[in-house]
């Protein structure tokens, strides 16, 4: 991994400067995002056999999701252009990230979120960072349409992934994976919502290949939730439904570029059920010690599905991006696990409960 002269990570803009649009140093707004671990699984042999399975744990970014990579770019550029405020529609993570980076830049943040469909951790982040949180009676797609309309006429910078700088920043996760492994994986799995991230990773891999840093390209494997799978169905979904609220999206903004990433790489965009997502979510936390949010587990659920269907083979190197931290959605974690055992403060009774 590249590091600054002092051996300290400088955030993705400074570390990958050669591959990113130029930004004046004084505008760089960073919380030292990026440099997230690529964790090799050790306890999933019964599921994956001799496949090398690695987890790109993006939940360890400063606001707990991969959005920070794109947000450092988008907010820095907005600052360079003299913007005083940013706006986004969000299922939660983009709003948390935009709010934090706007705070850091001394800018106002406006975030539009679907009422009742944003995990508690994410909502609390946007509120704490001082954003104006606008909860709409509508879904993410409605919120995005409103944001598009507002930014046409008002000097507020849109920081959804339609903003090209977001994709530019997010592609750096692919760079890190290549530098870590020394090559690209055979398959790269990730959840697909608004479809910006699959677009960004594919761009990153292709740029590293063009520069001769890697000589192979991965197949891009995107997974939507079954009740919110417009790309799989081939048409927008008016009323998307899934427990994975982060990817509860019926009409992704980067639809075309996601399809391009799939087709150019020879990959797949498919769906997984909520039950499959929860199974993968539990498996990661209970067997590997890695806590991600439900939407993130759609990547592993997708890999499990592809293994069952005989697509993955022994010897393949597979990376699953875990897009957000498990603490983002404590309600779902509590629902998905065994309840705490209530016991009196008494050694004997506690030993009995422990089975000793
Ligand atoms: N995983 C998580 C945890 C997300 O928050 C998102 C998107 C995705 C996956 C899907 O990524 O949109 O690039 O395909 N969250 C957006 C938000 C929509 O508003 O936070 P994508």
Judge if the beta carbon of residue 114 lies within 6 A of ligand 1: no
- Find residue 53's DSSP bridge partners: 318
Judge if the beta carbon of residue 324 lies within 6 A of ligand 1: yes
Judge if the beta carbon of residue 65 lies within 6 A of ligand 1: yes
Give the tokens for residue 55.
């987890």
Cα–Cα distance, 108 to 26 (Å, whole number): 19
Give the pLDDT confidence score for residue 6 in this predicted structure: 66
Which of 110, 323, 332 gets mutated to test ligand 1 (max ligand atoms within 8 A of its CB)? 323
CB 66 within 8 A of CB 190: no
Residues in Cβ contact with 98 at an 8 Å cutoff, skipping those fewer than 6 apart:
67, 71, 74, 75, 86, 88, 90, 109, 111, 126, 131, 159
pLDDT tens for the 356 residues of the chain, in order: 555 556 799 999 999 999 999 999 999 999 999 999 999 999 999 999 999 999 999 999 999 999 999 999 999 999 999 999 999 999 999 999 999 999 999 999 999 999 999 999 999 999 999 999 999 999 999 999 999 999 999 999 999 999 999 999 999 999 999 999 999 999 999 999 999 999 999 999 999 999 999 999 999 999 999 999 999 999 999 999 999 999 999 999 999 999 999 999 999 999 999 999 999 999 999 999 999 999 999 999 999 999 999 999 999 999 999 999 999 999 999 999 999 999 999 999 999 999 99
Phi and psi of 29, rounded to 5°? -115, 110
Burial level of 136, CB count in 10 A (0-12/13-18/19+)?
middle
Give the pLDDT confidence score for residue 53 in this predicted structure: 98
Give the pLDDT confidence score for residue 3 in this predicted structure: 56
Which of 66, 74, 92, 93 gets mutated to test ligand 1 (max ligand atoms within 8 A of its CB)? 93
Between the CA of 353 and the centroid of ligand 1 the distance, in Å, is 41
The number of CA neighbours under 13 Å toward the Cβ of 286 is 10
Which residue from 214, 207, 213, 128 is spatially nearest to 170, judged by alpha carbons? 207
Between the CA of 208 and the centroid of ligand 1 the distance, in Å, is 24
Q: Which atom of ligand 1 is nearest to the CA of 195?
A: 14
Phi and psi of 57, rounded to 5°? -90, 85
CB 12 within 8 A of CB 36: no
3-state secondary structure of 225: strand
- Nearest-CA residue for ligand 1 atom 9 is 191
């Amino acid at each position: 991994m590249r590091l600054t002269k002092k051996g300290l990570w400088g955030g993705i803009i400074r570390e990958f400067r050669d591959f990113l649009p130029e930004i004046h140093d004084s505008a760089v707004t960073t919380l030292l995002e990026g440099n997230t671990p690529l964790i090799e699984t050790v306890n999933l042999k019964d599921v994956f056999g001799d496949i090398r399975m690695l987890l790109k744990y993006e939940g360890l970014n400063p606001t707990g999701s991969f959005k920070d990579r794109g947000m450092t770019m988008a907010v820095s550029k907005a600052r360079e252009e003299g913007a005083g405020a940013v706006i986004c529609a969000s299922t939660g993570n983009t709003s948390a990230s935009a709010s934090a980076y706007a705070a850091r830049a001394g800018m106002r943040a406006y975030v539009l979120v679907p009422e009742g469909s944003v995990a508690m951790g994410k909502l609390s982040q946007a509120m704490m960072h001082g954003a104006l949180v606008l909860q709409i009676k509508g879904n993410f797609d409605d919120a995005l349409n409103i944001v598009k309309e507002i930014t046409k006429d008002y000097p507020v910078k849109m920081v959804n992934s339609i903003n090209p700088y977001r994709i530019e920043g997010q592609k750096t996760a692919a760079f890190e994976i290549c530098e870590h492994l020394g090559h690209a994986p055979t398959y790269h799995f990730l959840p697909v919502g608004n479809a910006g991230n699959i677009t960004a990773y594919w761009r990153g891999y292709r740029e590293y290949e063009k520069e001769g840093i890697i000589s192979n390209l991965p197949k891009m494997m995107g997974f939507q939730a079954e009740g919110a799978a417009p790309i799989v169905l081939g048409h927008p979904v008016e009323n998307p439904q899934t427990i994975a609220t982060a990817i509860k999206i019926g009409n992704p903004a980067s639809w075309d570029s996601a399809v391009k990433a799939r087709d150019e790489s020879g990959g797949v965009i498919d769906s997984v059920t909520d039950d499959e997502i929860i199974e993968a979510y539990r498996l990661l936390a209970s067997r590997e010690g890695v806590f991600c949010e439900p939407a993130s587990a759609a990547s592993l659920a997708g890999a499990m599905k592809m293994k069952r269907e005989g697509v993955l083979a022994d010897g393949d190197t597979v990376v699953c991006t875990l897009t957000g931290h498990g603490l983002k959605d404590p309600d779902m974690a509590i629902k998905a696990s065994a309840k705490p055992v209530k016991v009196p403060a008494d050694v004997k009774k506690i030993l009995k409960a422990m089975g000793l």
